[in-house]
Structure 1
Amino acid sequence: MPKLSDFAAVIFDMDGLVLDTEATYRKAWQNAASTMGYSFSDEFCESLSGLSGENGLAKIITIFGADFNATEFNTLSNQSWCDWVSKHGMAVKSGFQPLLAAIIAHNIPYCLATNSRGKDARECLAYAGLSDTFATILSRDDVNHGKPAPDIFLKAAERLQVNISDCLVLEDSYTGVIAADKAGAYVVGVPSVWPMDERMRLHSALIVNDLTELLESFNA
């Protein structure tokens, strides 16, 4: 197990890794689908975890057919999501703040690399009180292909001026870990859904329950 100081940079995913967004998205998707006369199970929503917006919609249309109104779904789900987080805020995942403090103490560069659009990512961070946390944010807007393509992690390493092979990437989904593995990073999977997708083990150097456990493993 490498030490934290062995890495040239740390790249964080956002949804389900830094922020506890998964439950809020699931609720919004299910509310929108219900209004439109469809039913999205928890399992189906979990299968969308980590996908970019366009890939998620493509999967929905594959399952529910070409008549599915993607524009209406986006409008309804966005409104439902905004109503929820406006009332309840956005929770930060356990262990993020102590891990970030350790990264800063070691003077290690870090950034956010998310499949969300830039505007949406910044909105989520603002709801969580983390607007000023990441000086460098890579979003779906910055690459031609979102995860599971490796593009965003390669771009992140380029932006931080380090080799991707020297980077620690933290991801919560199968989509994310496979993208980071393709890029050539050292990948740690921190599943946001349990039981986890066992395929994550094939593309992760390490699987931990949460970021607190990861920090403890570095300090062991």
Structure 2
Amino acid sequence: MVKAVIFDMDGVLIDSEPMWQQAELQVFSQLGVTLTAEQTRQTAGMTTEAVAKFWYQQSPWQGMSLAETEAAVIAQVARSIATKGEAKKGVQPLLQYLRERRLPVGLATNSSQYLMDTTLDTLAIRHYFAAHCCVEMVAKGKPEPDIYLLAASKLGVAPADCLVFEDSYTGISAAKAAGMTVVAIPAAEEWHHEKFGIADAKIRCLTEFDMRLWH
């Protein structure tokens, strides 16, 4: 039986993936690293630190440290979220439904606390979450299970009793490694990709989800 629900943030609560793509394309192009939108999807779900290291290994640059590069990407994404961020379809009704049924809700994101706070405040949904977990709170981000185990601990629920919503293979892998049940919400262009087969269920939008089948 599901006793708690944990949400990923980027791509699940907010359609921020285009914002990440735009920020990465702009920042890395200034460093002489030529990327395409397709290439940025290769790193979807990774921490910003891991993304910077990944592209530095592919095409080393000079003039900006990895930490400065990471900060530049995060700052641009934060500006985009603050000015045009909107909750994805179905987010508000599902969060309200879970609240009415007294199911504890947590957030587990590979993003920084700054971006987590910016998103929660911009979407005005902070009050729905009993646990807020970001990448700075764990030794290793997704695909390691640390952040999901932390969220379960904060919610006071066993990992096996947690239901997770994730949009990336990286995040799904993390939640499964934590021993949780996972509902995948792949991007439209990845809907048929076999990698999402490790999830327990797959939906196109949160509006398709029926909690009565899980609780």
Equivalences, count: 212
How many angstroms does 1:92 deviate by? 0.9
How many angstroms does 1:72 deviate by? 4.9
Q: 1:25 aligns with which of 20, 26, 36?
A: 20
Q: Distance in 1 between matches of 2:126 and 2:101?
A: 22
Structure 1, residues 97-156: CA drift from partner, whole Å, max 9, x if none? 111122112211111011111122101222233343323201111111110001111111
Q: Distance in 1 between matches of 2:40 and 2:63?
A: 16
Q: 1:173 aligns with which of 168, 172, 195?
A: 168
1:38 aligns with 2:28: no
| Equivalent runs, 1:53-64 vs 2, <5 Å | 53-64=48-59
1:130 aligns with 2:125: yes
Moved more, 54-63 or 76-85: 76-85
Please report the RMSD computed on the Cα atoms of aligned residues, expressed in angstroms.
Answer: 2.2
The secondary structure found in structure 2 opposite 1:194 is helix
Change (3 A) 1:104 1:131: closer
Structure 1: tracts of 5 or more residues without a match: 1-5
Identify the residue that residue 199 of structure 1 maps to in structure 2: 195
The secondary structure found in structure 2 opposite 1:107 is coil
1:111 aligns with 2:106: yes
Change (3 A) 1:204 1:75: closer
TM-score of the two chains, using structure 1 as the length reference: 0.87
The secondary structure found in structure 2 opposite 1:132 is helix
Structure 1, residues 22-44: CA drift from partner, whole Å, max 9, x if none? 11111111111222332211111
Identify the residue that residue 70 of structure 2 maps to in structure 1: 74
Q: Distance in 1 between matches of 2:74 and 2:121?
A: 16
Assess if the C-alpha contact under 8 Å between 1:89 and 1:128 holds in 2.
Answer: no
Assess if the C-alpha contact under 8 Å between 2:48 and 2:70 holds in 1.
Answer: no
1:154 aligns with 2:139: no
